[in-house]
Chain A
Amino acid sequence: MAATTSGVTAGEPLLRVEALALHYRTRQGAVRAVDGLTFDVKRGEALVVLGESGCGKSSLARALMRLHPRNLAHHGGRVWLGETPVSELSDERFRREVQWSRMALVMQASMNALNPVVKVGEQVAEPLRELKRWPRRRALARAAELFQRVGLPVDFMARYPFELSGGMRQRAVLAMALVAEPELVILDEPTSALDVLTQAAIMNVLKEIKRDQGTSFILITHDVATSSELADRVALMYAGELVETCSAERFFTAPAHPYSRMLMESVPRLHERRRPRPIAGQPPSLLSPPAGCRFAPRCPERFARCAEPPPAFAPGAGEGADEGRHRVRCWLHEADRKETP
């Protein structure tokens, strides 16, 4: 049995996000990709943002990193990283003081975004030279440490991206994201383009970094099985909103929101004979989501109240590993404490 640590680290909130919104302008109208998300991530904690394609989970990463497309219609909400009110910073200060140095992003296809004519080692060292003005030699020495960290032979630093396989390039990108020692790393589908064994190897690297360095992670994925490979907590997104946020333990065994439960039942299992059950219907368009609960049209448990948008309820404060952080956006939990906003 490999060495393990306790799953949940009781740290301070590192990242606090309130009513985060990101809307895009299209010919048909505004697409409300991220529509009022409130959550936090503690130090050393991994939050998995789970959701189907088009639910706005990648837009969440873009909103946090301020990587705005040209058709941006609205970016709102408040974000704190430690004591820093990130959302108050100018773009210039955000770039200089937060982006990459304190908060880094690895995207799904970032392994294909390496510069083809620059040696991989130089690219991994670049954030240190650009952001921290480290001399080349020192930055390269640090990059070499990161190569070992992510399981790449140090002599690969002198190679060009085309000389590495997809899995190795993804490791290099991970090294680049980690080199400036950010407190928070956002991973958007970091392994979905890779093979099963390579995926497992990369998840191993992430688990070790989390265990040894106490880095916080936001892992964005559509894959429930992958999500359980890193999650301390799970935040499930549906149609631009968070429908449930809770500990991984609760999410994988007894989630509260009907969508969470149905999603868990739709996952094909390797070792269980129970047949997976599909969820009938489709997610709504983000151009004109339903006025009430956005899952209501597909929900077998809907009732009259669901015509109004449900707030986030906080059921059973203080239970187990959830420490009162469990949130469910569903009228079935109306009896529970209401959380604002």
Chain B
Amino acid sequence: MTTETPLVEARGLHTWFELRQWGFLRVGAVRAVDDVSFTLARGEAVAFVGESGCGKSSLVRTLLGLHRPTAGEVRGEGRDLASLKGAELKAWRARVGYVQQDPFGALPPFLDVRRILAEPLRVHGVRDRAERERRIRAALAEVHLTPVEEYLGKFPHMLSGGQQQRVVIARALILEPALVIADEPVSMLDASVRVEILELLRGIQRDRGLTLAFVTHDLATVRHYAERIFVLYAGKVVESAPVEALLDAPEHPYTRALLRVLSDPDAANATRLREVPPGEPPSLIDPPAGCRFHPRCPKAIGGRCEVEVPSEVATAPGRRVACWLYAPERE
């Protein structure tokens, strides 16, 4: 394998969930991910940002190989994930670590920390007990659960939320993955603990040079913890850009709307009425034609935005936006 191959490459990715009536009649589909393309380079930290139901979790779960794409493909280290079976699929899953949103729900309540961390090693064929123990201790030390002896015998309910999330991270790292997917890793945690966990993830990502794909609904947390952002709306990526550029000068009307309603804590916010686009995100079963944001968009161009789906346009190096406002003139 050459180092030129991106770690993950998604092309025209669709992840739809079929809706059936009486168990067999196909009546439609939830278009959770609808024609999304991107590449993740080795060693970079990216964030997928969007509101609930925009398809961000379905997207990363497709990268994990948990959902099979309905159309399009995802390549992991150059190989089409849909073609992987049995041992090969298992090998890909060892290359990807997954950090869930709710640490308590993600940890089996009846196993202690040692057994929780031993499980992936056993499944992936680390038979030597001493070797397993060595790796478990190393993983706990890496997530700063020290002294290690104090945590090995604990059950999840004996740990705080932050400690539980550290165990989840240790479990995600123990097979030495190339990619770690963290789906809202801090949204269930308290403000004072959030930063600790984000710093930990980012630190490990840098030290190990792995790729971190981090899913969040909170734009305020991305500045220091990702290099690139993908903004999703109703199953599509509407804008992607380097973090600073996007936060300082958003381009897509949706991203602009988001950043207009958010601000840093300030007493003046209490009397500031926010400009909120009307309406709500569309149903993913029957999304609007054309640009999915057009019914709410203050800048919608009549005759175009509600008719044609905008394609992505590069507006600067590393920066793309799917919006007709940025389309080069035609004819």
Contacts and interface: CB of A to CB of B under 8 A. Distances in A.
Interface of A: 2-7, 46, 52-53, 165, 167-168, 195-201, 203-204, 207-208, 211, 222-225, 227-232, 247-249, 251-253, 262-264, 266-273, 275-280, 282
A153 to B, nearest CB: 12
B267 A279 contact: no
A249 to B, nearest CB: 4
Nearest to B222: A268
Interface in B152-166: 160-162
Q: How large is the interface on B (under 10, 10 to 19, 20 to 34, 35 or more residues)?
A: 35 or more
Contacts of A228: 263, 265-267, 269-270
A99 B259 CA distance: 38
B195 A252 contact: no
A278 B195 contact: yes
Contact of A7 (B52, B271, B277): B271
Given A196-B261, A229-B269, A276 B224 contact: yes
A281 to B, nearest CB: 9
A197 B51 contact: yes
Contacts of B217: 195-196
A270 B270 contact: no
Contacts of B245: none
A225 to B, nearest CB: 6
Nearest to B224: A275
A270 B267 contact: no
Contacts of A4: 271-273
Contacts of A275: 224
A172 to B, nearest CB: 14
B199 interface: yes
B263 A225 contact: yes
B284 to A, nearest CB: 13
B104 to A, nearest CB: 12
A201 B272 CA distance: 12
Q: Which 10 A-B pairs have the closest CB atoms?
A: A200-B261, A2-B273, A278-B196, A195-B51, A52-B190, A279-B192, A248-B267, A4-B271, A249-B267, A278-B195
Nearest to A229: B269
B66 interface: no
Contacts of A278: 192-196, 199
B146 to A, nearest CB: 14
Select the residue from B219, B257, B265, B269 with max chain A CB neighbours within 10 A.
B265
Nearest to A53: B190
A3 B271 CA distance: 8
B42 interface: no
A23 B294 CA distance: 52
Given A2-B273, A4-B271, A195-B52, A268 B220 contact: yes
Contact of B219 (A7, A208, A270): A270
13 contacts: A52-B192, A196-B217, A203-B274, A204-B276, A224-B265, A230-B270, A231-B267, A264-B265, A270-B220, A270-B247, A270-B264, A271-B247, A279-B192
Contact of A229 (B220, B259, B270): B270
A232 B268 CA distance: 9
Contacts of A223: 191
Contacts of A276: 195, 224
Contacts of A263: 191-192
Contacts of B315: none
Contacts of A3: 273
A304 B248 CA distance: 46
A197 B247 contact: no
Contacts of B264: 225, 267, 269-272
Interface in B236-274: 247-248, 257-259, 261-274
A197 B191 contact: no
A2 B265 CA distance: 19
B55 to A, nearest CB: 14
B131 interface: no
Given A247-B267, A272-B264, A278-B196, 17 more contacts: A2-B273, A3-B273, A196-B261, A204-B276, A207-B270, A207-B271, A207-B272, A222-B190, A266-B191, A267-B265, A269-B264, A270-B219, A270-B264, A278-B192, A278-B194, A278-B195, A280-B196
Contacts of A227: 265
A197 B262 CA distance: 9
Contact of A201 (B220, B223, B262, B276): B276
A52 B191 contact: yes
Contacts of B263: 225, 228, 270-271
Contacts of B276: 197, 200-201, 204
Contacts of B258: 196-197
Select the residue from A2, A247, A270 with max chain B CB neighbours within 10 A.
A270
Contacts of A200: 261-262, 274, 276
Contacts of B161: 53
A268 B193 CA distance: 12
